[in-house]
Structure 1
Amino acid sequence: MESDKNWRLKLRYGKIETPYQHFTVIADGVAGKLAHGFQCKEGPAFMTMKTWCSDAEESAEMIQGIGADIGFTVQGRIQIYETEPAEPPRDNPFGYDISFTPYGSER
């Protein structure tokens, strides 16, 4: 896929074509011991991720699968929004910009 700095304009004006849509996904769940490179206090948390994929359903499946691989279990609601991308599309669906936000009592 195009890697130059003008990819947004090229995508907007049809110079780059992709079968994928861009989403931001927020999932409610529980963070366990997370994989190397990810940080969050163990317990209730939100996981956020940006995705390039076919549709919202695939985006929900991606956050569940990638979350499980990292050590996060989706146990609540998944919210999906169409958003502007921060990275260009690729040849296959992918997720990026993953983060976690813990919540709950500080006891």
Structure 2
Amino acid sequence: MTRRIQTSLSHFTVLADGVVGELPERWKCRRGPAWMAMKAWALDAGEAEHMTRLIAQHIGFAVTGEVLVYETEPQVAPQESPHGYDIQFTPYDG
């Protein structure tokens, strides 16, 4: 029997412009300007942006520019609390 979680969370995709520093081995991206993308389950767009900034800082990415938040279809089911997943980086020439 499948258990379905009832949630007040919404799903978002967040894009943040910034600078890649020293990333953990889990992520591969050259140092310098890049966009960070992250999917998130959050209470609202503001919380999704805040989570992205905190996670970025924790893993070595400095958000220095625009942060775009879009409500999107989820790729994974919600959990009981807000969380981010599927973090990716796309470098660009500054």
Fold-level similarity (TM above 0.5) = yes
SS at match of 1:61: helix
Alignment of 1:44-59 (within 5 A): 44-59=33-48
TM-score, normalization: structure 2?
0.93
Quote the residue 2:70 is aligned against.
81
For residues 80 and 93 of structure 2, the distance between their equivalents in structure 1, rounded to whole angstroms, comes to 39
Q: How many residues get paired? A: 94
- Structure 1 residue 39, shift from structure 2 partner: 1.0
Higher relative contact order (CA 8 A, sep 6+): 2
Does the Cα contact within 8 Å between 2:21 and 2:31 map onto a contact in 1?
yes
For 1:30, give the aligned amino acid: V
Structure 1: where are the runs of 5+ without partners? 8-14
For residues 32 and 67 of structure 2, the distance between their equivalents in structure 1, rounded to whole angstroms, comes to 17
Quote the residue 2:91 is aligned against.
102
- Structure 1 residue 16, shift from structure 2 partner: 4.0
Matching of residue 32 in structure 1 with residue 21 in structure 2: yes
TM-score, normalization: structure 1?
0.82
Structure 2: where are the runs of 5+ without partners? none
Instruction: Give the structure with the larger strand fraction.
Output: 2
- Structure 1 residue 17, shift from structure 2 partner: 1.8
